[in-house]
């Protein structure tokens, strides 16, 4: 999970655990009359990390396909011709490709690959022919990298390679914990900067010590690096990030003056003279929307360039002439794109029904590419010829999925409590009939700084294909309506968001489309938190699914990987200033004895983000109080299963639990929230 993704790993509006990378199969002739099925999850092709060549003629993009037999997602580096859309696989037999980058001259493509489960290394592939050449041999792997402006070398980030103890001390495995996840089995190691020739050879370490490097880019002259640094390797150290320049020849460092506190990320302009700095609008990181300032690498005060855009900026791309930025942000139930010139207010672009799901990558020639999706079409590659033109789709990888009979997707708006104008997404069952009432399933996004949008949702469509209305509500804390809405969740983790969701449920029922005897609530991560909160505060739910649910803020603060970050949203540490009762008041476990809803609990045993301990607590509370409950655990790491077999099992159990309890529903039973 990235530093801005919070409880649910995501850098876009849909939860990323619902992004599938699956193989295309032949489509039956009747595809357009058939609803989406579980088997179709294995036909969806995922696209990621699109990079356009300097001349704007070709795109290198990673495509993902599910391999159920070997239980993995196979990735391929594919070359796409911009004009014809013709594709060519560049890396057959390599399944873990990541982070492709063109050389400055456009004659080579570099990428990371982890062969046979080993740490990822850096490779260079000549476009004129020949095999990819491995250029690093890092014991602990390569995390990210950047080409030198002349294409002759790379700067890359990798963990410190400690000296292994000898003699009797080789048996000593003790380590300092610090602000670390409870799953840690060894000391956290600082990340350092290394230099290696693009032709391969011995890597040279440039930095050392306890400080950890979080980002790297070159200055325009290629003589220095700009580094994002934090004082140590623990997650909480990221709250103290700063920027420095590092001179290659001398090793001299210089702080970049007045870089914003709580820096989230930075991006260098094409000429290497300016930096776009992403940082929160206020002192509570993640609970406040990100905005963007621009600063000169040579020094001086940063200048805020998106101050007039009250949205959470989640992606920043420099225009090729260095005159400004193209930024992305959730906006209501869409993902918007704005041109933010350095000397003018931000201007929104019209992309029709397309929601970008990746950053933009510009060629030197001007055109840009991005990965986007539409309500009824999964990810494809799009070309933006100019800032005045409409995007053009240049791939058709997911045509079979787009040809299915899918549920209508629309935005619903309502007046929420505390004066908020709120919104969410409704997905109707395919072929929904006017005047008919359908079971309703709430699918609540995580974060809480996520957003439900009209963009493609395979799981949402799969739920709707069961004959159910699907409601994906946004609630305070969501990052789609600006600073006041996002920060309203501070010290109001459950009560305010709960009232927001229930106001949305009331608005859906007012449409006259809901069978109020059959209403279920579900979600993963913070969506799981909201599920536990809603079932303990409102009655009438037919079933609930709580995936990776935060149920006890004490555990989250003390055990999870982000740990102390929770304090920004809960009035500080639970162990200071008599704040313990505040944490308990906002934890679903305090009210678990009130839950009456049959609940399915799902969790990964090795989840670093929401510890499995919280699912155990919820399970015992429900069982001890005689509530129907089932707890399914996956003996794997990660916040959500990363492999296709366990992902599919989650979806099947989720849908099966709700279906089982809907079939046992009593007609005209009291509705949820009554």
What does the buried/exposed string (b/e) look like for 626-641 if buried means 16 or more CB atoms within 10 Å of the residue's CB?
ebebebebbeeebbbb
Reported confidence tier of residue 4, pLDDT bands at 50, 70, 90: very low
Q: How far apart are CA 439 and CA 429, in angstroms?
A: 10
Q: What is the percent of the chain with per-residue pLDDT over 70, rounded to a whole number?
A: 93
pLDDT at 130: 84
pLDDT digits 0-9 by tens, 561-592 = 988 888 999 999 999 999 999 999 999 999 99
| pLDDT at position 27 over 60 | no
The residue with tokens 């989406």 is: 36
Any idea which architecture 405-663 has in CATH?
A: 3-Layer(aba) Sandwich (3.40)
Listed in sequence order, the residues at least 6 apart from 32 whose beta carbon sits closer than 8 Å to its beta carbon are 403, 404, 405
Q: What is the mean pLDDT of residues 37-60?
A: 96
Whether residue 16 has pLDDT greater than 70: no
How would you classify the pairing of strands 438-444 and 469-473?
parallel
* Average pLDDT, integer, range 598-623: 97
State the DSSP H helix or E strand holding residue 100, giving kind and residue range, or none if neither: strand 98-102
Phi and psi at residue 338, to the nearest 5°: -125, 140
CA pair distance 518, 490, nearest whole angstrom = 33
Tokens of 269: 């302009």
Q: pLDDT of 213-258, one tens digit each?
A: 999 999 999 999 999 999 999 888 888 889 999 999 999 999 986 6
DSSP states of 308-323: T--S---EEEE-TTSS
Please tell me the distance from the alpha carbon of residue 300 to that of residue 8, in angstroms, as a whole number: 36
Q: Where are the domains positioned within the chain? A: 45-131+352-397, 135-161+189-255, 269-349, 405-663
> Does position 664 have pLDDT exceeding 80, yes or no?
no
Q: In the prediction, which pLDDT does 262 show? A: 78
Question: pLDDT at position 33, please?
Answer: 76
Instruction: Please say if the pLDDT value at position 264 is more than 70.
Output: yes
Q: pLDDT, tens digit, for every residue of 506-557? A: 999 999 999 999 999 999 999 999 999 999 999 999 999 999 999 999 999 9
Question: 21 falls in which pLDDT band (50, 70, 90)?
Answer: very low
For the CA atoms of 534, 535, 541, 547, what is the dihedral angle to 10 degrees? 90
Residues β-bridged to residue 278: 265, 292
Quick: pLDDT tens for 356-380: 999 999 999 899 999 999 999 999 9
3-class DSSP state for residue 239? helix
């Amino acid at each position: 999970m990235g530093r801005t993704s919070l409880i649910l790993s995501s850098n876009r509006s849909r939860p990323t655990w619902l992004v599938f990378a699956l193989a295309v199969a032949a489509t039956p002739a009747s595809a357009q009359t058939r609803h989406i099925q579980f088997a179709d999850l294995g036909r969806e092709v995922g696209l990621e990390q699109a990079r356009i060549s300097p001349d704007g003629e070709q795109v290198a993009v990673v495509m993902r396909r599910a391999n159920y037999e070997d239980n993995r997602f196979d990735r391929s580096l594919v070359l796409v011709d911009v004009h014809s859309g013709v594709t060519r696989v560049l890396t057959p037999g390599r399944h873990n490709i990541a982070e492709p980058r063109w050389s400055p001259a456009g004659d080579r493509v570099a990428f990371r690959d982890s062969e046979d489960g080993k740490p990822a290394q850096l490779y260079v592939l000549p476009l004129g022919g020949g095999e990819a050449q491995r250029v690093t041999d890092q014991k602990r792997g390569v995390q990210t990298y950047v080409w030198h402006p002349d294409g002759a070398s790379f700067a890359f980030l990798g963990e410190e390679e400690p000296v292994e103890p000898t003699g009797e001390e080789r048996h000593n495995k003790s380590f300092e914990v610090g602000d670390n996840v409870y799953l840690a089995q060894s000391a956290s190691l600082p990340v350092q900067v290394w230099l290696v020739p693009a032709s391969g050879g011995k890597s040279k370490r440039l930095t050392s010590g306890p400080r950890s490097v979080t980002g790297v880019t070159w200055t325009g002259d290629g003589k220095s690096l700009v580094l994002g640094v934090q004082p140590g390797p623990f997650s909480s150290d990221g709250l103290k990030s700063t920027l420095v320049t590092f001179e290659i020849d001398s090793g001299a460092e210089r702080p970049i003056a007045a870089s914003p506190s709580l820096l989230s990320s930075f991006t260098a302009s094409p000429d290497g003279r300016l930096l776009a700095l992403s940082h929160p609008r206020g002192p509570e990181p993640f609970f406040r929307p990100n905005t963007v300032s621009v600063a000169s690498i040579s020094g001086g005060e940063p200048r805020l360039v998106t101050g007039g855009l009250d949205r959470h900026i989640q992606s920043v791309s420099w225009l090729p002439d260095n005159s400004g930025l193209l930024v992305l942000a959730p906006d209501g139930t869409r993902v918007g794109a704005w041109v933010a010139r350095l000397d003018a207010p931000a201007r929104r672009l019209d992309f029709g029904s397309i929601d970008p799901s990746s950053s933009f990558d510009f060629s030197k020639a001007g055109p840009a590419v991005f990965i986007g999706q539409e309500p009824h079409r999964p990810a494809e590659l799009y070309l933006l010829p100019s800032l005045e033109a409409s995007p053009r789709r240049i791939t058709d990888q997911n045509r079979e999925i787009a040809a299915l009979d899918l549920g209508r997707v629309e935005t619903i708006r309502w007046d929420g409590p505390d004066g908020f104008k709120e919104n969410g997404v409704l997905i109707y069952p395919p072929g929904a009939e006017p005047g008919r009432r359908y079971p309703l399933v709430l699918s609540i996004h995580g974060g809480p700084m996520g957003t439900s949008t009209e963009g493609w949702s395979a799981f949402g469509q799969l739920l709707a294909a069961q004959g159910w209305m699907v409601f994906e509500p946004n609630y305070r804390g969501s990052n789609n309506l600006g600073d006041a809405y996002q920060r309203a969740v501070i010290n109001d983790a459950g009560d305010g968001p709960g009232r927001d969701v229930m106001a949305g449920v009331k608005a859906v029922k007012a449409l006259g489309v809901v069978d109020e005897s059959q209403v279920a609530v579900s979600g993963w991560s913070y969506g799981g938190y909201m599920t536990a909160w809603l079932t303990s505060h409102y009655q009438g739910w037919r079933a609930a699914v709580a995936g990776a649910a935060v149920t006890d803020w004490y555990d989250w603060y003390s055990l999870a990987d982000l740990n102390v970050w929770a304090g920004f949203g809960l009035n500080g540490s639970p162990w200071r200033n008599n704040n313990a009762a505040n944490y308990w008041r906002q934890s679903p476990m305090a009210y678990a004895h009130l839950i009456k809803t049959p609940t399915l609990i799902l969790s990964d045993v090795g989840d670093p983000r929401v510890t499995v301990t919280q699912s155990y607590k919820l399970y015992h509370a429900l069982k001890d109080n005689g509530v129907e409950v089932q707890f399914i655990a996956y003996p794997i790491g990660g916040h959500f299963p990363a492999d296709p077999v366990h992902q599919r099992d989650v979806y099947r159990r989720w849908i099966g639990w709700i279906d089982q309890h809907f079939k046992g529903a009593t007609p005209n039973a009291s509705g949820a929230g009554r």
